[in-house]
Amino acid sequence: MSCSTPTPWKPELASPNRPERAQREDLLRATLQPLREDERPPALLAAIAVCALLALAVIVGAVTVRNLSRHGGSLPGGVFLAGVLLLLAQGMYRRRYWAVLGFEALLAFQVIVTSLALVVASTIVAAAICLLSVGLGGWLFWKLVRVMGRMQAGER
């Protein structure tokens, strides 16, 4: 039995129109306008609001649920999570790239988890909530990608 060595992957073989695509990407980058002083696009404001509301919901839930440890949580854990969310909201309000990137990572995780929850949804209502969550999270993720590009354009 002989083992064959795998051929190395070559990007020029994967996409024959690479030069054309690179030109198009350069053109798109050139047309990207940096964020103006104190400009906060609607997608960024929506992300800030979602992050702040989630922090508030976590605090309210941690304080009002009796015997939180029975449900798999703890008050210090809830306070920590709310603190992280508030830190992200504050960073996004100050237009920090790391904060938007961190929030996008949380959005991606949320979309993946609710997509998996959709697989085991036992009612139409649960499936609809999962679909709504995936749709809204994916939409906000997509809108924040352009905001991040405009943030980076201003840093160059």
Q: Is residue 68 within a helix (H) or strand (E), and if so which, with residue range?
A: none
For 143, other C-beta atoms within 10 Å of its C-beta total 15
Tens place of pLDDT for every residue, the chain, 156 residues?
A: 455 555 554 444 445 556 788 877 777 777 778 888 888 999 999 999 999 999 999 999 888 887 777 777 788 888 999 999 999 999 999 999 999 999 999 999 999 999 999 999 999 999 999 999 999 999 999 999 999 988 888 666
Helix axis angle, 42-64 relative to 97-119, nearest 10°? 60
Closest CA to 129 of 110, 148, 105: 110
Q: What is the pLDDT of residue 3?
A: 53
* The model's pTM: 0.76
Which pair of tokens denotes residue 28?
């798109």
Q: Does residue 148 contact residue 100 with C-beta atoms inside 8 Å?
A: yes
Question: Can you give the pLDDT at residue 13?
Answer: 46
Q: What is the DSSP string of 138-156?
A: HHHHHHHHHHHHHHHHHH-
Query: Which amino acid makes up residue 136?
Result: L
